[in-house]
Amino acid sequence: MNSATATIADWRIYPVNSLPVALQRQPDGVEVTWSDARVSLFHHLWLRDNCPCPACVYPVTREQMFEIVDAPDDLSALDAQLDGSGCLAVQWSDGHASLYHPGWLRAHAYDEQSRAEREQQASRPLLWRAEMNQQLAHFDYQEVMTRDDVLLQWLRALRDTGLTQIRNAPTANGSLDGLARRVAFIRESSFGVMFEVQSKVDADSNAYTAFNLPLHTDLPTRELQPGVQFLYCLRNDAEGGDSRFVDGFAVAEELRRLAPDSFDLLTRTPVEFRNKSARNDYRCKAPIIALNEDGSYREIRIANFLRGPFDAPTEVMPALYKAYRLFIQLTREPHLQLNRRLQAGEAWVFDNRRVLHARDAFDPASGERHFQGCYLDRDEWLSRLYVLERQA
């Protein structure tokens, strides 16, 4: 069943789980009936657009050379046949010929059933509450560094729950660099490629003080919040400074249940976040709770200490404060929180666009506390995950 030999203009693998068994010519396309009785119409323009032959797609890059705008307006199929391996062969009215792999074709079919199936198979976040204190996904540093299957497990945990811990890691200065680059290159910010989370006299962020930091996402002041944050503990001998996490999607879900109007307002109202210093002036206006078009959670954006003044119509302002205060109260609810003290050689790795993190105040005079941090963008760790899945 996997003997189909048409070119695939992709690096992913497309297994053949269902074969085309019949073709029906339509005025504007070819209708395929599959072995499981599904029926998919493929329009002529769609098929011509996706011809994988070496004249249409440059084989070295697997990127398209052909442009569908150059097809004639009256393009039609002179002939369409299934070959012995289940590939679809089309002869075009402009003289071109195309051959489509059945696994690829099925994976990209756009009939209602195929689209619904893809939608259903997409990964979804697993929301968590305080029980995460017992269920935290943790991974061994050496295993992550040396085994691709463990790396894949880790990245899937990050995708699904958004909060993971690495243990038994070296405590040499800069060890974080190797761990992060095991996944992808690091996203630089105005705070550097790697940042030192230490109390500084000339702090340009409250993160670089010994104060309590309330639950927040990092860099909500940038259009694209960093996707993953690493917080790597080299030394933690000071009193205080414990870590706190909360699943921002679970907080939003609680708000939706308790006060749907407040939830709705926070999904619709742009809030400006400001990261300002003598040398920088970042401003980003976006809602605190961002939803996808289907109503699922896209991201949470919040840091009280980086928030600019609310700017909303006068009549909306009281409701906005009600909603905001309710949201922040919920982030403080013990039944939603995970609390841990990080030890030297442990690192938090979490989805910064979903999981809020906080640090209790600490006493810099009581001992040394030295964390290093860095960011990777979501595109990068997802790309790594997808490539690992090709081999898995």
Q: Per CB under 8 A, which of residues 347..366 are in contact with a copy of itself?
A: none
Is the Cβ of residue 150 or residue 328 nearer to a copy of itself in the bound state? 328
Q: What distance in Å separates the CA atoms of residue 37 and residue 307, rounded to the nearest whole number?
A: 55
Least Å from the CB of residue 123 to a copy of itself? 13
Q: Is 133 in the site for a copy of itself (CB under 8 A)?
A: no
**Binding to a copy of itself in span 281-300, by CB under 8 A:** 281-284, 293
What are the Cα distances from residue 210, in Å, to 216, 348, 362?
Answer: 16, 19, 5
What's the min distance (Å) between Cβ of 193 and a copy of itself?
9
The strand pairing partners of 307, in sequence order, are 273
Determine the 3-state secondary structure of 201 from DSSP. Answer: coil
* Least separation in angstroms between CB 234 and a copy of itself: 24
List of residues 6+ apart from 364 with CB closer than 8 A: 199, 210, 238
| Residue 124 engages a copy of itself in binding (rule: CB under 8 A) | no
Given candidates 23, 53, 68, 290, which one binds a copy of itself under the rule CB under 8 A? Answer: 68
Q: At what angle do helices 248-258 and 317-331 cross, to 10 degrees?
A: 130
Check residue 205 for interaction with a copy of itself (CB under 8 A).
yes
Site for a copy of itself in 324-343 (CB under 8 A): 324-325, 328-329, 332
Residues 185-204 that bind a copy of itself (CB under 8 A): 185-188, 190, 201-204
| Residue choice 168, 305, 341, 367 for contact with a copy of itself (CB under 8 A) | 305
Please report whether residue 224 would count as binding a copy of itself according to CB under 8 A. yes
Q: Which 3 state secondary structure label does DSSP give 184?
A: coil
The correct pick among 5, 135, 146, 383 for binding a copy of itself (CB under 8 A) is: 383
- Pairing mode of beta strands 239-240, 355-359: unpaired
Q: Which residues contact 47 (CB under 8 A, 6 or more apart)?
A: 29, 30, 77, 90, 98, 100
387 binds a copy of itself (CB under 8 A): yes
Hey, what's the torsion of the CAs at 144, 148, 151, 156, to 10 degrees?
A: -160
Does the protein bind a copy of itself through residue 94 (CB under 8 A)?
A: no
